[in-house]
Amino acid sequence: MPGAETYLSFIPLILLFVLFYVLMIRPQRKREKEDRAMRESIVAGDRICTIGGIVGKVLSVNEEEVVVESSGSRLTLNKWAIRSKVEKN
């Protein structure tokens, strides 16, 4: 049956796509979801680190931006520029 051989030749390709999804795409989506939740939980008074390495204290937060004070300077940043919260020592 020549048709059965054609379908069987697609099985490794399908398995490769499933493996790619499980190892690459799914963990990335989970990380994005965690990052989004972290950014939404930021409130005034939190210390953050930006993607540029600036560490500062959040002064105010609105829907898309945060105002951060670092070394006496005030910066207005987009929320997506926040890499992480910095734990208080």
CA 79 – CA 41 distance, rounded (Å): 11
Q: Are residues 1 and 33 in the same domain?
A: yes
Q: Are residues 47 and 86 in the same domain?
A: yes
Q: Are residues 17 and 34 in the same domain?
A: yes
Q: What is the domain count for the chain?
A: 2
Q: Residues 46-78: pLDDT tens digits? A: 999 999 999 999 999 999 999 999 999 999 999
CA 10 – CA 3 distance, rounded (Å): 12
Q: Are residues 37 and 47 in the same domain?
A: no
Residue 6 confidence (pLDDT): 79
Q: Are residues 29 and 59 in the same domain?
A: no
Which domain range does residue 3 map to?
1-41
Q: Residues 5-32: pLDDT tens digits? A: 777 888 889 999 999 888 998 899 999 9
In whole angstroms, what separates CA 14 from the centre of its chain? 28
Four-CA torsion 17, 22, 27, 29, nearest 10 degrees = 60
